[in-house]
Chains A and B, each alone.
Chain A
Amino acid sequence: MGVLSEVAHPLNSVWKLISQVPLFMLFRAVDWPKMLPINYTLSLLYTCNSRCLTCNIWTKHVNNFSVDEYDATFKSVGETPFWFTLSGGEPFLRQDIVDICKVIYRNCKPGIINIPTNASLYDVIPSAVEEICKYCTETQVVINISIDAVGTRHDWIRGFPGNFEKAMKTYKHLKEMSLPNLTIGIHSVISRFNLEDLEDLVNFVESAKPDSFITEIAEERIELDTVGSPITPNLMDYEAAIDYVMSRIQNMSFKKIGIFTRFFRGHYYELVKQILRKREQVIPCYAGWASCQISPDGDVWPCCIRGQSIGNLRKHNYNFPSIWFSAHAREIRNSIRKKECYCTLANAHYTNILMNPLILLKKVPRHNQGYYQVTSGPPFMREAKFKQIQESIMRINNSRQEMVRGIRFKASTTFEADARFRCLCGTRISVQRGQPLPTCIQCGRADWWRLEAVLE
């Protein structure tokens, strides 16, 4: 009874949601009936106070949507959304985040509002969350605190000294509030930088007793500007890591929405392993049909991995359906349907699993506790791998230092090796040795932000 009463409100919407599954299947197969998405990710801003090794989103600057613009947009979708994720950047850097949640609740009455955060703003977050929970009474509010390792290791990965300590302060405050519709979770990104920290991390999670604990694999995303960065662990490492995490969390007890999250996550982790192995869509992807993302300046994307805009809400008078059912949207959907892309994006996979209910009948294997090896293979391979990781860290640190010191690569400079450069606008060029560095063909800047690689 306790568990049921805690999740009663979202459960009402769940039944409504399940009844829509056959309609979405039809929509994907024959483009009829026209359905609006149920899962929205709103990227509220690109600004962030963290400098994570796995994300460069903070380098982007756009004109963010206002509360009124969100209001106009969500009036056009009515009560169709079930799940909102308010991401960023750091969502709580927006002073109007409470108003945005109120607008969402007033127009859409979603079952879940999920806010991932680095939890550094310990003097702002608890009061904001309290106000959101008290206003959105029929919605489960999920606050997912990002923790990638323990103590200073976390601070190093996040590029933010003191982040772990501040996040713990926020976590403690949120726990003390004990609001009925608040779920406090811990969210970890598994990247090449924290494979060796997993044991400490899971020990910490066990002692912190969050309502839910989820992990996600570090991915190369257009949105995060990480395509080409060496952040994703290889299949062997990821399998070992996730099996270890699974073996530990199956003995933990979660609360509220965390119970359902764990159920879905078990299937999701198995899917990720299969996707990394097969390098293709393992189950049909519903990004572009049942899930979408809206960028801070109003671009509507099917997902953040492709980051392809199907239209801008400002140009369409904040009418979401007119973008969603446009010819361009159909083109991108066709490409997804033809399996021209694949990814392990967790948010989209929640809807994918829901839309492929047969997968839920499969039993998630139980994992034996206690076995975990960072890298399989003989010692010389491990050594080579360690060196490779170290080099990639050095490369990232060097480019950060260059940026901090303001060192730029000026146009018309020549180099003694073939090299690839990146402009602040995102454009990349490659230049043969001895050829003068040009100005950026996209934005005309005369200095290049970063030397991406020396091509040997």
Chain B
Amino acid sequence: MRFRVTFQFVGTASGFPFYEIVYADSETSAKQIAEKVAKKFGYRILKIEYFE
């Protein structure tokens, strides 16, 4: 399943949202992956939505 995660930079170019696609088998797994990405790259998660 595809999920669209909207992130926001908290680094030097903060405040400006962008999205990425996460491929996972459930929304919970997508959320876990998004959290790992956010932690590793210094982003903030704004929303996670199912993306057809």
B-binding residues in A (CB < 8 A)? 219-222, 227-228, 232, 279, 305-306, 308, 335, 339-344, 418, 420, 428-432, 434-435, 438, 441, 453, 455-456
Contacts and interface: CB of A to CB of B under 8 A. Distances in A.
B23 A432 contact: yes
Contacts of B14: 279, 340-342
Give the most central of A219, A222, A429, A455: most B CB within 10 Å: A455
Contact of A429 (B13, B22, B42): B22
Contact of A455 (B9, B11, B33): B33
Contacts, number: 79
Given A432-B24, A432-B29, A435-B23, 10 more contacts: A220-B9, A220-B11, A305-B13, A335-B16, A339-B15, A342-B12, A429-B21, A430-B5, A455-B36, A455-B37
Given A418-B33, A430-B37, A435 B13 contact: no
Contacts of B23: 429-432, 435, 438
24 contacts: A220-B11, A220-B12, A220-B13, A222-B13, A228-B42, A232-B12, A305-B13, A340-B16, A418-B32, A418-B33, A420-B37, A429-B20, A429-B22, A430-B20, A432-B22, A432-B23, A434-B25, A435-B23, A435-B24, A435-B25, A441-B21, A455-B33, A455-B37, A456-B36
A273 to B, nearest CB: 14
Contacts of B5: 430
Interface string B9-48: 1111111100011111100011011101100111000000
A218 to B, nearest CB: 10
A420 B27 CA distance: 17
A428 B20 contact: yes
Give the most central of B5, B11, B13, B30: most A CB within 10 Å: B13
Nearest to B40: A453
Interface residues of B, number: 25
A418 B24 CA distance: 9
Contacts of A227: 9, 11, 13
A420 B14 CA distance: 21
Contacts of B41: 228, 453
A438 B40 CA distance: 22
A9 B51 CA distance: 59
A388 B11 CA distance: 18
B12 A344 contact: yes
B39 to A, nearest CB: 9
Given A228-B41, A435-B24, A453-B40, A430 B33 contact: yes
> Which 6 interchain pairs have the tightest Cβ spacing?
A340-B15, A455-B36, A432-B24, A228-B41, A430-B22, A431-B23
Contact of B34 (A308, A430, A438): A430
A342 to B, nearest CB: 6
Contacts of A221: 13
Contacts of A343: 12-13
